[in-house]
Amino acid sequence: MNEARRSTRPSPSGKCTRRGFLKGTALAGAAALAPTVIPSSALGRDGAVRPNDRIVVGGIGLRGRGVGDLRWMLPNPDVQFVAICDAQKSARDRVKGMVDKHYGNTDCKVYPEAREYLAARTDIDAILMATGDRWHALMSIFVMRSGKDVYTEKPSCMTIAEGQAVVDTAQRYGRVYQTGTQRLSEASHVFCIEAARTARFGKVHTAYAHIAPWDAAEMRHDWLPAQPEPPKDVVDWDAWLGPCPWRPFNGAYIRGGWRGHYDFHTSCIGEWGAHTFAQAQAGLNCLDTAPVHYQYVKNTTGDGMVTTFANGTKMVLSRGNKYWHGSCGERFDFEDGGWVAAADGYSKPEGSSPKLLADFKKVVADYMARTQRPMNHMRNFLDCVKSRRQTVANAEVMYRSMTTVHAANICMWLQRDLRFDPVKAEFINDDAANRLRSRAMREPWTI
């Protein structure tokens, strides 16, 4: 907060006269004796958060899932959401209406262009971002370079190279980063991860990670038919495309029809693998690495692909509900034949024996005490914005699990087994695979 400054007006000669000095002293004394009324909210009373303790947040690209994230964020009393940026006017207006209704005012500002927005709003501490996949990594980099922390939806990078760039930027600028793999902050998944990570029921030999039951690993490379482009203030089509190769406007793209297209998406493997690979790798104590071997499977989806880590443990990509019911599941198999699993919709994890779940609440409580993390992914991000600690789904976690996503995709595209060096972040003796670690980015939207 900027404190108001008071000065004594000098005499025309530039000197402070005796009369001026006495007058200033009298006024100062009167001001000191006058009662001062300070709102209780400024003192943090009655449940209010002092202004200096509030996190000033702005949004970028909040539609669909992003609006859900915003509804998750707004009830936090230490958050003040102040602005929204989006290439689509309808999305900007919707978020502004939602925010203004929440606060009972009309203060939420709207911006159509992200780079100008980030440069102008030096008051913003953090950005909530849920653009389409093509923008996640690059916009996170722009946000962190502007001196702001970022919560971004997944899949959080389109290539291995983009993931590396996000890690480098977070480290260089000292920013807090959280990707939206929220199941790392949900009790059922945390129990399974902790049980596997600590070998609570014996050593784990295999993890299973859910991939999406729609689309394929191979994606479309064609364009949708051209339609008349709307005015720029309605949809800034060039900005919407961002780093992707140019193509003519088609309204289906902005209504979600970008999914399944190579330039915009990460396939059925990335759609859910962006969640579940991190969940499985966390339980295998492999969040700081990626598998070294990817076994090609002769289908269109990657279902059944076996990936193997340097320590010999395996992670199997699985489509459907062979190992769980619900979506975005993970399962861990122990050497003695037991197993634990969780997926969306579980009130508690499942296991091969009821005795495996007896300490469910204790395991989760111990995890929370050890890590100082709540079972609330958004709250974990906000806490870390204040403490400057690493989030549960920090940039390194994102990069390693998304490297697994991209390597699995490349394995399917090339239709052959691949070997990967996680330290060098390159495929071994495979020039074609290594060329797919990055993509060309369209000017001026480059890293």
Walk me through the domains of the chain, giving residue ranges and CATH numbers. 47-182 (3.40.50.720), 183-217+265-435 (3.30.360)
Which DSSP state fits 92? H
pLDDT of residue 411: 98
Mean per-residue pLDDT of the chain: 91
Contacts of 95 (CB under 8 A, 6+ apart): 59, 62, 67, 70, 84, 86, 108
Q: What is the pTM of this model?
A: 0.89
pLDDT of residue 445: 96
Q: 248 or 48: whose pLDDT is higher?
A: 248
Mean pLDDT of 160-169: 98
Name which of 55, 78, 57, 56 is nearest 69 in CA terms.
Answer: 57
Place of tokens 């699993």: 341
- The sign of the dihedral angle between the CA atoms of 86, 88, 89, 92 is negative
Q: 24 or 141: whose pLDDT is higher?
A: 141
Mean pLDDT of 89-108: 98
Dist CA 87 CA 70 (whole Å): 18
Answer for the pair 152, 180: CB distance below 8 angstroms, yes or no: yes
Answer for the pair 87, 239: CB distance below 8 angstroms, yes or no: yes
Mean pLDDT of 12-22: 40
Dist CA 173 CA 132 (whole Å): 24
Question: Can you tell me whether residue 153 is helix, strand or coil?
Answer: coil
Dist CA 325 CA 278 (whole Å): 19
Instruction: Read off the tokens for 358.
Output: 């007896």
* pLDDT at residue 47 greater than cutoff 60: no
Tell me the pLDDT tens digit for each residue of 367-396. 999 999 999 999 999 999 999 999 999 999
Give the start-end residues of each E strand in 94-244.
109-111, 126-129, 149-152, 177-179, 204-211
* pLDDT at residue 9 greater than cutoff 50: no
pLDDT of residue 44: 53
Q: With bands split at pLDDT 50, 70 and 90, how would you rate the model's confidence at 21?
A: very low
Mean pLDDT of 102-127: 97
pLDDT of residue 134: 97
